[in-house]
Structure formats: structure tokens, C-alpha cells
Chain A
Amino acid sequence: MPKYKGWAGKILRVNLSDGSVKAEDTNDYLDYIGGMGIGYKVMWDEVPVGVKPFDEANKIIFAAGPVTGTGAPCTARTNITSLLPSNPQHLIGDGHMGGHFSPEMKYAGWDAIIIEGKAPRPVWLRIEDEKVTIEDARKLWGQGIFDTTADIAGIMGQETQVAAIGQAGENLVNLATIMSNGNHSAGALGGVMGSKNLKAIGIIGTGSVQYAADREDWIALNDHVMSIIGANNQHVVPSTPQPWAEYHDPASRWTAQEGLFWGAADKPVETGICEPENINKVGYRTQKAVKDHGMIAEDYTVRMGGCQSCPVRCHSSLEIPELENYGVSRYVMNTCMGYWSHYMAMRNMDEKSGFLAKTLGAQLADDYGLWCNYGQLGRDLNYAYDKGILKDVLPAAEYNSIPWDKFEAGDPEFLVDLYRRIAYKEGEISHLGDGAAWLAERWDFDEDYWNDEAHHLWSPMGYPLHHANESNGQVGSLINIIFNRDPMNHSHQNFLGSGLPTKLLKEIAAEIWGSEDAVDEPANYTPMNRAKAKFAKWSLVTCALHDSLTVCNWMFPMATSPLKKRNYRGDTSIEAKYFSLTTGIKMSEEELYKAGERILTLHRAMTVKQMGTVDMRNEHDIIVDWVFDMDPDKKPFTPGTIKMDRDDMEKAKTMLYEELGWDPETGAPTYDKLVELGMKDAALELGKLGLLPGNVQ
């Protein structure tokens, strides 16, 4: 019996080199909670510096936390940790997917799956509760993700949940996904699975996830969350004026309104007015199809969809008969960048061709398992094309074989050709799938590639901004420098995008971070201050926490709510309450944040160890120049620009490092901080390597 509730109690270790399968005790990892925490800990302990992502010695960890599978709202995330192929230094990182995979893993009795080694030939992993076998995947190899999932479900049973790679992962494309349920993908790590000859993992779980709380207390907490939950991204006001709402915001994802339908449902389903008190309408609040595609999508919308346990449905399911003209299913489902990235890989489109490009692109990329690097792949193509670089780097025969006429004409069919080339690594153009840093080096991009704001690049490590300086200036910027890929961090973004007036957000900010100064008006920024550093820390720590618990960082923390009677306050203690009620370990919000800090600091320590330098400030936390040089006629901290100031940003880094207890000079974790967080072993190891800041050993 597991020591605590919530955790399944066992971690599955599969060595594909020798075919061994072992169960280990989750208790060894409880300080790291689960998910990302387990992933980082395993990587820290077991993967030596110098190992490359596709080496046999690399490992890949699928992990969930104690809350996943309990049925608590928005808790079906799967965290996948390994070395990042697209990162130019192969630093540690993780991809995340929603869907139904990790709850099934928990029901099968596993908190995590550690994959190590490399199979001699293609295999897939079959998990039916405690029974685990490595199966021959030679017949599956070469297939797309959709067919692979269907084949495995055909063998194991229709209730199987599958995580699989497509051709992109098999062919070791750096920008490859791992996918479950047809449209929930974890970016960046598909190639690692491919390098291990692991095509897929299929799971059936017939067990339970237990919680320590009485059922009454458990249900009461669920009801509380359902009472303050908003729409997607915890947007808490509707997008149009509505009778129940004091505020509205055209940018809100609470798009439900009278006269707006799921127009392709078998009988009409109107989203309508969804008063916050009506919990039977939470699932209608976000009509995501019209958010992602505009009103053209209404008539094609079959329904919304999303993850196990989540009442907020953020994926849109569309039926578009024209898609069959391109040889793909008419039924397509995805959300946000899962649609938009394909638009970015095109040009000269009108409303209809843009809609088709987004949806056709989703079908193709989701089957090949191709990742967009948060939209960067498409921008890279357009840059190289416009600069004439493609003509220089592609052999003429290859260049001429690419249907550029379709590209120029805004014909979505161009994507059929392009994505096939990338997924199968056909020719020079397929290096678009290497990732921006590798590509820029290979094709010798000029400085303007990095320094033109239009390309949205954020870091010399080759990732684009993901809610950076456009999201509360220094706060978003700080969040964008810490990880080794684009930050999958929405804590700050959910708060800033809630739709409430800035004045109200400032009041709430003062309650959470000690001062109204934590929040500026959008694009009317003030210089760095302590409260902003606290806001940034809170965002980073809660994100690490969410990816470990595992709860959705696109909904939590719920710092705001749609309820006037609560004066729009949310409740940031929910995660701690779930942790306590689930595991039986009583934990305050503050104590739980400490665990989040531990996990974040371990990520930092691993990054320091891999890079072999403590100077994170100058070697790692680098922001490209456009952020400081954009809008040449404007000064930072004037209305209407998101331009940052170099000195101010260095000050911001110092303040964040201080808040996190890292060395204010270098941004590396100190001996004292590591010891305080219970990671003395890590401190000693870094000390031996000469990777502790200052003289303290």
C-alpha cells in the first residue's frame, strides 16, 4: 500500500536496451511531488553531462502527480522530461500534453514511466495495470499517429489511451511531438522516443486514484472550484456585453453568447448566455473555434473538447468536408497554436484559405507528429524565402520541386508537400525541423533574423517569445529567460488576460504580491520594482508546481473569478487544498510553493551543470536585441510601447534572482539555497564541479 493517497505508489522503469521492466517506489520522489519534479530529479540523478538527446544514455520520463486522476477539475496533464533536441546545447526541458493519457497511467497504478536505453528494433510498450510488456512495433513503424493509435487500441481494447510518435519522431526530427487522443501533443521530445525505437505507449488502467479526504470534503472543494472557475485561461468576463456581467473584454476566451452556436452539431447547440452560477454551462463558455478562426468557423463546429476531468473545453472539433480534397479526414480538432502555426507557414491567404490552412495543417502535423516550435517553424520558412536564402541553400533541383506557386497563391495544399518533406527529412528544406538555433547556424541567417521583432525570437537558444514583454513587461520577460525552450507558463498570462479592468487587477495584485505596482496597464509600463519580481517568481514557481501536481497551468492559479460577490477574487490556495485533501499531507499554500521552488531550482541547477558555468545571467538568461531596440522613436516606459530597457532588465534579473534565493550576481543557485530546499546532494555535486557561485562550498 502506498504511504500516502493520491500517488499510485509505483514508478515504471523500462530499459529498452536489455528489455527489463521494473517497478520502483514513488516514495523516493515525494519531495518533488510528481510530473516535472520527478522528471527533473531522474535526469539530475541519472543522465550525465555530455549526453545528447538521441544517445542511448538519454532518458525520457512520462510523469503525473498526485492530483492527476482524482477528478479534480483541469488535472489531466502529462509531463514529459528529457534533453531537448532543438536546444543548441541540448539542455534539459519538458513537453506537456493534456488529453486522457496520464489519468489512465495513474489508474493502471503508475505515477511515472522512465524509459531508458534503446530497443534493437521498433517496439511499443503495452501496459495493462501491473502487466507490462514490450511489443514488436515493426508493423507500426512508418505510420502516422492516428493509424498507430487505432492499431494499438485494436490490439489492446477500445478503451486504451495511447501516446505515440509519427514519422517526424521516427526520423529524429528535432521539432517532433508526442501525441495522445489525436490532438493533445507534447512538443519537442518526439525525436527522443524515435531514437529509442519506441513508437508508442498504450495503457489500460482499471484501478482507482484514492484521496485521503472524506468524500464530503472532497466534493465541497470540487464544488468550490466549479464556482470560481472561468473560461479557458481563466478568463472571467465574457467577450461581449451581457446582462449578468459588469465587465466584458473582446479579447476574452469566454466567447459564448446568444446566437452563437456549435453550428455543425447534429442538432443545434447554442452557446448562449452562460451565467457563472450555472455549472451545467461551463463547457459552453469557450467557443474556441470562433476565437481561433473567426466567425467562419461557427458553421463547421461540431463541439468543443479537451482533457479528462476539465469542465473548460478549449479544443474545437470541426467538420470541414473540403479537407477530404487533400486526402485527410474532414474531422479536425485542435486549439490555439495547434491551428495558428500552420497559418504562419503560409502567406497571401484570405479568410477561407486561412481557415483551411490552419485545419489542414493541424491534420497533417498531428499525424506526422511535427512540432512548430510555438509558431517559429513557419516564420523561419517565410524569412528564408523572403531573404532568398532558400535559393542559396537548396540544390536547384530540390528548390524547383517545391510548389512555390501554391505558397505564393496562398493555397493550403502547399503544406501537404512541405510537412511531408520535414517529417521524412527529405532534402535540405527539411532542416526547418531542426529548430531555429540550429537552422540559423546551418543556413547562416543574418543578425536581422534575431533582431527583427516581426520574427518573434526571444532567445539565442532558438525559441520565440511566449507571453514575454507584451505580458506586463519585465514580468513576462523574466519568465521567458528561465527555461530552455519557450516557457510553457501561463500563470501570469491568465491573470493579465482575465478581462478585468487594470484597476481591479492592481487591487488583487496588492493582495498577492504586496503592491499594486506588480501590474502595469498593458503597454504602459513602469520601471522594474520589487512587486514585479514577486509576481514573476510566483508565476515561475506555480508553473513548476502545476506541472508536478499535475494541474493545468492554462487554468490555474485561479487568482481571479467571474463573481462580483467575491469582488472578482479567485482563490490561490486551491492547489494546496487539493494537495492536502488528496495526499493526506497537510500543506499550506506557502509550503507547497516551497516545493515548487525546489523543482524550479533543480531545473536551474541542472542547467548550470549542463552548461558548465554559473554565469546564468550572461550565458543563459539572454534576450535578443529587438526587445530593447524596437520602436526607435520611443523610449521604454512610455505609453504604447513594450520596448524594454537594458539596464532595467538587468536590475529585473537581479531582483528575480534575489526573490528565488539564487546568487544575485550570476543567477545560479547558491549552496545555502540548495541546502534550504533539501537538495544538499545537488549542492555538493555542483561544488565539486566548481559550479557554485561565490566562494561558499
Chain B
Amino acid sequence: MSEEEKEEKKFLQKPTSRRDFLKKSVIGAAGTAVSMSVLGLFTDSAEARAFAVAEGIVISDPTRCTGCRRCETNCTAINDGKAHPYISRVKVGRNYNFGENGPSIAYWNQNGNFGDFTIVTETCRQCEAPRCANACPMGAISADSSIGARVVDKDKCVGCGRCSVACPYDIPTVDPEAKKSTKCTLCGGYPTCAAKCPTGSLKFVPWKDVELALVERENLIKNN
């Protein structure tokens, strides 16, 4: 297989749940030169405002994640002072049983606990041109000054949920109790989810290594 074919194959293997597919198609159409890299999916630079890149992002190694979901409650403990996986900035539970596409007739061979045991943990990509920030009517999402995480200004946020709809990875979540959006802040450079992961599956990956790490992750999820 040529390099190009390999790249193409990777691209075709992108997550394609119905909602994701629609969102990503939009990105593809708008970004005139869709990069054949995974990174291309979330840079989306032709369309929108871009920020300086974050220092890095948190990525899960699917071979090491055992689905204990400690990251979810550790995340909301430090950020929200409660246990609330639904608003956790790391998303494990929703893909835990059947992977990111949900159950199909062939769930035996899909990801998830009812399938091939691969746990697909979703984390914030801290996109260069974040769709969440661009979709926000209040301008409440911006890069923080310390490490460039795209963070929600709680004072500006009105909890409308446009950021959730816009994100291809379904990361920002409106807290149904606080009525404010939540998304990954990278905990000021020391992400709790990674620091306390019992298998070291979650790691804070420096921006220069992110693309490679994501490509590897995609391949492992697809079980190649």
C-alpha cells in the first residue's frame, strides 16, 4: 500500500456514528482543503477563527483503558466539586458497552465491553479553530492565557448548548444542574484525569506529538 493509500484508509476509518458523520461532513465541505490527516478534522482553518495552539491535549491509549471511569469522577471532583460523569470532560461511559457507534446487530465484533473490549475514550482536542468557540453566541469560549486550553467563561455562558452541537466529538456538555457549559480546561496544565488514571492510559500529549498519537489511537480503535 502506498503512503497515500494508507492515509486514505485512515481517513475512511474515522468515527462515523450518524451524528458525527453529519458534523464531520460539514467540516469537510467547508474546509476547502481537507487535510488527509486526523489533525485536519479539527483544525478546520478555512472556516473560522483560530487560536494559538494549546500546549497539548489529553489522549487515551485504547489498549490500556480498562473502563473504570475514575477519570470522569476525578474530573468533576476537581472542576465541579461533585460526581457527575455526564458533564465530565473525559467521556468513557457513553462508549463503554458498545463503542462509539452504539449497538448494532454485529456488536460481538464492535468496540466496547460487549464487543472486542476496546474502550473508546473521548477527550477534548483543543482544536486550533474550535467549533465550540466559533459556535458560541456569547463569545464565552476562548484560549486561557496559561496553556491555551479552550475554556468556558462561566459568567458569559448562558447554557444554550450550541457548543455541544457544534463539537464533532461531543465534548462540551451543558451541566443540567448549573445550566452552564463544561469543557476540558486541561486543569491548568496538570490534567487530573491523566495524573490519576489507574493504568496510565490517559496521557497529556504535547501538541507536536498529538497528530501521531491520534493516528495511532484511531488505528487501535479500528483494531487493525
Contact = CB atoms under 8 A, between A and B. Distances in A.
* Chains A and B touch (C-beta atoms under 8 A apart): yes
Interface of A: 69-71, 73, 100, 103, 107, 146, 149-151, 153-154, 157-161, 181-183, 205-211, 214-215, 218-219, 222, 226, 262, 265-267, 269, 279-284, 302-313, 317, 319, 329-331, 333
B64 interface: yes
B97 A283 contact: no
B94 A158 contact: yes
Given A146-B114, A222-B77, A269 B103 contact: no
Contact of A208 (B67, B84, B96, B114): B84
Interface of B: 62-70, 72-74, 76-78, 80-87, 93-103, 107-109, 113-118, 176-177, 196-200, 220, 223
Contact of A149 (B65, B72, B114, B197): B114
Report, nearest first, the 5 A-B pairs whose CB atoms are least far apart.
A71-B73, A158-B102, A311-B198, A208-B84, A283-B199
Contacts of B101: 158
B198 A209 contact: no
A99 B184 CA distance: 26
Given A158-B98, A182-B114, A208-B82, 10 more contacts: A103-B85, A158-B94, A158-B101, A208-B76, A208-B84, A210-B82, A304-B66, A308-B68, A311-B68, A331-B108
Contacts of B85: 103, 107
B78 A69 contact: no
Given A266-B220, A280-B200, A207 B108 contact: no
Contact of A153 (B73, B77, B97): B97
Contacts of B95: 158
A226 B196 contact: yes
A149 B68 contact: no
B83 A149 contact: no
B64 A205 contact: no
Nearest to B197: A280
9 contacts: A71-B76, A208-B177, A266-B62, A266-B220, A280-B199, A281-B198, A283-B68, A306-B66, A308-B93
B63 A266 contact: yes
B198 A283 contact: yes
Given A266-B62, A266-B220, A309-B68, A209 B93 contact: no
Contacts of B65: 303
A279 B196 contact: yes
A283 B74 contact: no
Nearest to B108: A329
A209 B83 contact: yes
Contact of B78 (A146, A182, A215, A329): A215
B116 A309 contact: no
B68 A307 contact: yes
Contact of A303 (B66, B93, B96, B223): B66
B63 A305 contact: no
**Residue from B87, B94, B113, B116 having most chain A Cβ neighbours under 10 A:** B113
Given A107-B85, A211-B83, A182 B68 contact: no
B169 to A, nearest CB: 15
A214 B103 contact: no
Contacts of A69: 83
A639 to B, nearest CB: 41
Nearest to A205: B86
A207 B196 contact: no
Contacts of A214: 81
Contact of B176 (A206, A281, A329): A206
Contacts of A149: 97, 103, 114
Contacts of A181: 96-97, 113
Contacts of B66: 283, 303-306, 313
Contact of A71 (B62, B83, B115, B220): B83
A331 B109 CA distance: 8
B108 A306 contact: no
Contacts of A103: 85
B96 A153 contact: no
A103 B116 CA distance: 24
B189 to A, nearest CB: 17
A71 B197 contact: no
A302 B113 CA distance: 11
Contact of B117 (A209, A226, A269, A305): A305
A654 to B, nearest CB: 44
Nearest to A6: B83
A321 B207 CA distance: 39
Contacts of B64: 265, 269, 303
A310 B68 contact: yes
A73 B71 CA distance: 11
A183 to B, nearest CB: 8
Contacts of B113: 181-183, 305, 333
Given A70-B83, A302-B117, A313-B66, A150 B93 contact: no
Contacts of A207: 84, 86, 176-177
Nearest to A310: B68
Contact of B220 (A182, A267, A304): A267
Nearest to B87: A208
Nearest to A307: B68
B177 A71 contact: no
Contacts of B108: 329-331
Nearest to A146: B114
A150 B98 contact: yes
Contact of B102 (A157, A210, A313): A157
B119 to A, nearest CB: 8
A150 B82 contact: no
A218 B81 CA distance: 9
Nearest to A154: B103
A305 B78 CA distance: 25
**Residue from A158, A206, A283 having most chain B Cβ neighbours under 10 A:** A158
B117 A211 contact: no
Given A150-B107, A265-B63, A280-B199, A309 B73 contact: yes
B77 A306 contact: no
Contacts of B74: 71, 222
B84 to A, nearest CB: 4
Contacts of B117: 302-303, 305, 317, 319, 331, 333
B102 A153 contact: yes
Contacts of A161: 97
Contact of B68 (A150, A151, A158, A306): A306
Contact of A267 (B63, B99, B177): B63
A78 to B, nearest CB: 16
Contacts of A160: 97
Given A281-B199, A305-B117, A333-B117, A70 B73 contact: yes
A579 to B, nearest CB: 15
Nearest to A229: B198
A154 B102 CA distance: 7
A426 to B, nearest CB: 26
A159 B198 contact: no
Contacts of B80: 208
B106 to A, nearest CB: 10
A670 B82 CA distance: 42
A222 B200 CA distance: 17
B63 A303 contact: yes
Contacts of B107: 146, 150
A209 B82 contact: yes
Contact of A331 (B68, B78, B116): B116
Nearest to B221: A266
Given A181-B113, A206-B86, A153 B98 contact: yes
A208 B177 CA distance: 8
B202 to A, nearest CB: 9
Contacts of B100: 158
Contacts of A284: 199
